[in-house]
Structure formats: C-alpha cells, structure tokens
Structure 1
Amino acid sequence: MFSDLAEQLSIRERQGLKRHRAILDSKQSRYVDIDGCEYLSFGSNDYLGLSSHPALIQSACQGAQRYGVGAGASHLLYGHNIAHHELEHALARFTGFPRALLFSTGYMANTGVVTALVGRHDAIFADKLNHASLNDAAILSRAQLIRYPHLDLPALERHLKKTKARRKLVITDAVFSMDGDIAPVSNLVALCERYNAILLLDDAHGFGVLGEEGRGILFTENNLSVCGSKVLHSPNIVYMATLGKAAGVFGAFVAASSEVIETLIQTAKSYIYTTASPPLLSYVLLCSLALIERESWRREHLFRLINQLKQKLETSGLRLLPSNTPIQPVLVGGVQDVVRISEG
C-alpha cells in the first residue's frame, strides 16, 4: 500500500501537480509574511478585512475569559452554549429566515443538509461547477445524482419534469468559487416552487459581501421580494453561508424554515456527532455581524479595489473571466502553470 502511495505522489510531482503549503507568519492583512518574504495579498477570503479587526480581537479575549477555549461537548449534550444560541438568533434575523443552525465548517454544513434531507429514493440536481463539498455530500446521501450543465436552467427543468423521485433537491453555489459568476437565484426558486423541490444555496462567497447590508445573495436587487418593509423568502430555500470568509472568523450556518432546522438538529450527522465549536468564536461573530451590518464602507471599498484590479489586469494583457464578485479568475494556462505561479 505504501509503495503504491509513494508512486502516486511521484507521478503527481512529475506532472507538476504536487502542491506545497506556504507558511504564513503574520495576520491576514494587506501585506502578509509568507516563508520569510513580504507579499501584497490577493488570495485571502478575508474580504472585509475583519479577521484582524481590533474589536474582534478584544471580543475573542473577552469570550475566552467568559467561556474558556473549548465547548467540551456536542450540541445535543451540553456543548450548546448561550453564545451559540444568541448567534443563531442573530443570523436568522440578519438573513430573514425563521431559524438558523451553526455548523463547524461549510463542508460539514453541506454534508449535513444534503444527507439529512434526501436519501436512496430521492434525486439531487447539481450544477456541474458546484463546490466539492456539495458534490461529496450528494454522493454520500445515496440519492440519485443528476448534474446539469453550468447555469443551464432549461436542462435543469427537463430533469425536474422527468423525475419520479420522492424528494427533489437542487444544490448550487450562489457565487461559484472558481469562476466568480452568480447563480440566477430568482429563476432557480421559481423552478423549485413549480416542481416542489428544495433549493440549497451555498453562499460562502456572497454572505457579508453581496446584497443590502451584506446580507447575501438573496438581498441583491434582482432577488428581493418586498412586501412593505419585510423581505419574503421562499420556504423552498435552504441557505448556507460560511463565517470564515467575509465574517473573518470561522464556522458556517444554515438558515431555513423551522421544519428544516429541526430536522437537521435531529438527523444531520455532521452536526450531531461532533464537539460544538468554541463558544468564544460565536461571541466574536456577534461582533463581526454587527460590523458587517453597520459599516457599509467596507463593501464599497472592496468593490473599488475589485474594479481597480480588473482595470489593471485588463491593460496588462491577462485574460479575465467576467465576474462582479471578489473572485476574479485570471486565465494563465494549464494546471502546471497555475501550480508554478502559485509557488512563486
């Protein structure tokens, strides 16, 4: 077995695909110290610059003093801290859903949602450019997996119309993590309502960045459905977002109807069978959420930088894929070229 692993690693290296971990010796900031050299950072997911914010650092110290550094148990024993509980309520309010549920990571959240909601006699419809966590979750669920061409809603509708599955789940990135383009959410919602399907939106790269007050993809201009001052969500939506990117800390959450959230609490294995995340992180995230909501200048500054980067890269002759998000894909050649450039 070990000689086989060594051979596979050797093949990967000969193909120029073996990656190496760079060692960061600084905070995430405009400039970072990597392997002893200072670089201007373009690769971080810390979109709003919150990971090193003094208020969040102070909150971390206060949270550690109050709650310690570990949860000590799973949520269903007695690891569900008041800080977790308050953050879930704050996230539900912020995103406009009845309830929210914390997960340790986005990978665990997607795995928990998909495997809890569908199984052997069900069908999953997945965009071909979805994140790996959605793909792995679909396979793990044992439901029938049908992948439709990227953003091809007519193809998705044909599959939805044809299926005889008991439950139907459409899964998609909201902002696609490699190309930076955006799913047509309002059209997806309409399809799911028409064919009685659930829509799982992975908004890892939209939460905190897109929409009114950074509330995510559902609060962008095209997706708002307003009645008076109340934003209405389709009950068919299950919304997932991460808390280690724009929010600057760690973790993820799922927001949905009470029935979905209670189902996840009772049956999502990636929620049930793991120690709860350190409560001090939830305490810090309450501070982060307040800054996201209050300081709109951070998003304005981010999009000024995005436009500046696009202008500079376009004049340099490099080819950019079209994207109006912080993910700006630069085409540099083959896979080996990408690995070589990434390692300086």
Structure 2
Amino acid sequence: MGQWDALVDAALARLEARSLLRATRPIALAAPTAAPRTFDGPGPWDHAAVEIRLDRDTLHQWLAEGDEAGGQEEQLDGNLILFSGNDYMGLSSHPAVREAAVKAAQDYGMGPRGSALICGYTTYHKLVEESLARLKKKEDCLLCPTGFSANMAAITALGSITSLLSPGRKPAEHERIAIFSDALNHASIIDGIRLLERQQEALVFVYKHCDMFHLDFLLSSCSLEKKVVVTDRQVTTD
C-alpha cells in the first residue's frame, strides 16, 4: 500500500497546487430532539419488503425465459421471496427506519437541496459517514447516491491519479494503470473501466471468472508498475 499511498498523496498535492482541492461545507441542521431507535433483532417486519406474489401468467413467463419450465409452476403458488433488489434483508420496513424517515421529513422536509458539492451536504450526511467509518474501522467514508455511482467513482478516481501526475498530456502507456477485471464483474465496474479506456488512463485485462490461475498469468505477464485487480465481493451476474 505504500506505493499507492505515495501516488495518492502526489495526486492530491497536484490538485491543491492548482486550487482544485475543496472540502464540502456541510449545512448545519438542528440536532434531533430524541435519540433514534436502534435495531433490536428480527421481527415481523423483516419479510414485509421482500415477500411478493406473482400472477400465474408472469410466473409461467419467468420460468419459461429461464428454461426452467416443465412442471415447476405446478409446485409454486406465486408466493416468492425477492432477492434481486437492494432491500433483500427487509430493513426498509424496520420500525426504527420508518419512524426516523417520518421524523426527518417532519423536521427538515423532503428531497435533496442540491448536489453534495453545492449545497446538499448536511451535518447529517457527515454524521452518517463518520458512523460508517467507525463501524468499519476506517479513516473516513464517502457517501454516494447509489452503488452504481460508487463503483464508477472509485474506478475513475484510479485513472485520475495517472492523469494528475502527467500534467498537460495523456499518460504514456507505461505510466497507465493496469486493471485486471473479472469477466463477470457488475456493469457499474465495467462502465467505469470503459471510461478509463476512453480517457487513455488504463490498460484493461479481463480474466476468466474466479480463475486465479488465469489472473496470476496476466499479472505476471504485465510489465506495468501500477496494477489493480477489480472483482465483485459478491458476484451479481453469476
């Protein structure tokens, strides 16, 4: 990590020298009047957001599209648990989450004030970031509006390091970052990598899904100094 720390420090110094390094200034909101409720274990709410019912025609169509027809629809009644969304743990239905959302809307209104860079970053965003950083035992945390944008931001930030350290020109091929990407990475990762390729900030190598031998071969064959392996922690396209 020492080499990467040095690269990041050099890139940040370059931004500061060009007066492009800015800190968001949070808008201070009134402190909450009472401590929020916390999670106290599973309850009857935990399936409310993930239990769905499909009509018979839709169920048959889904099974047929997945080549899984052949009598299975006779064994299913259309009651399913949905794992393809972002709320498969059902936390959006937790009473504490509901109460906090209602209280926040009553006290502060609804909707974003603007982007975080302009006027949308408040003391509560900062509080969430600090809480998550403590939870994960990390130095700091940055909130992104979606998981897709988080992956895009992280990947493109890697390429920005090479551009910042090559002012006034595109990075030469030997200065670029070599990115090794799992063949079944999520679209958000792939889009970020494609953006780096278009900006000529990275060379990309795709290794077979979860094939460490193929990855090792590509890493060993690559002469670039800066190398990054990118893979989903939980492969969503498998």
Shift of 1:99: 1.2
Residue 99 (1) aligns with residue 140 (2): yes
Deviations 1:246-299 (A, max 9, x none): xxxxxxxxxxxxxxxxxxxxxxxxxxxxxxxxxxxxxxxxxxxxxxxxxxxxxx
Counterpart AA for 1:148: Y
Residue 30 (1) aligns with residue 51 (2): yes
Distance 2:127 2:219 in 1: 38
Deviations 1:191-233 (A, max 9, x none): xxxxxxxxxxxxxxxxxxxxxxxxxxxxxxxxxxxxxxxxxxx
Counterpart AA for 2:188: S
The 5-angstrom pairing of residues 1-344 of structure 1 reads 28-32=49-53, 39-44=78-83, 45=85, 46-118=87-159, 121-142=176-197, 143-179=202-238
| SS of 2:191 mapped into structure 1 | helix
Counterpart AA for 2:204: L
Residue matched to 1:22 = none
Counterpart AA for 2:191: D
Distance 1:102 1:66 in 2: 22
| SS of 1:147 mapped into structure 2 | strand
Deviations 1:82-122 (A, max 9, x none): 11111111111222221111101111111111011126622
Shift of 1:47: 2.7
Distance 1:148 1:94 in 2: 33
| SS of 2:141 mapped into structure 1 | strand
Question: Which structure's residues are more often strand, by fraction?
Answer: 1
- TM-score of the superposed pair, with normalisation by structure 2: 0.57
The answer (yes or no) to whether the contact 1:118–1:169 under 8 Å persists in 2 is no
Gaps of 5+ in 1: 1-26, 180-344
- Alpha carbons of structure 1 residues 39 and 170: separation in structure 2 relative to 1, 3 Å: same
Shift of 1:33: 7.2
The answer (yes or no) to whether the contact 2:207–2:215 under 8 Å persists in 1 is yes
Higher alpha-carbon Rg? 2
Distance 1:54 1:43 in 2: 20
Shift of 1:32: 4.6
The answer (yes or no) to whether the contact 1:29–1:52 under 8 Å persists in 2 is no
Shift of 1:159: 1.9
- Alpha carbons of structure 1 residues 82 and 145: separation in structure 2 relative to 1, 3 Å: same
- Alpha carbons of structure 1 residues 108 and 34: separation in structure 2 relative to 1, 3 Å: farther
Counterpart AA for 1:149: K
Counterpart AA for 1:87: V
Distance 1:108 1:29 in 2: 24
Distance 1:72 1:48 in 2: 29
| SS of 2:143 mapped into structure 1 | strand
Question: What's the RMSD between the two structures over aligned residues?
Answer: 2.6
Distance 2:219 2:52 in 1: 48
Distance 2:149 2:111 in 1: 19
Distance 2:205 2:50 in 1: 41
| SS of 1:100 mapped into structure 2 | coil
Shift of 1:157: 2.1
- TM-score of the superposed pair, with normalisation by structure 1: 0.41
Counterpart AA for 2:226: R
The answer (yes or no) to whether the contact 2:178–2:224 under 8 Å persists in 1 is yes
| SS of 2:155 mapped into structure 1 | helix
Gaps of 5+ in 2: 1-47, 59-76, 161-170
Shift of 1:162: 2.7
The answer (yes or no) to whether the contact 1:118–1:167 under 8 Å persists in 2 is no
Shift of 1:177: 1.1
Counterpart AA for 2:222: T
The answer (yes or no) to whether the contact 2:208–2:214 under 8 Å persists in 1 is yes
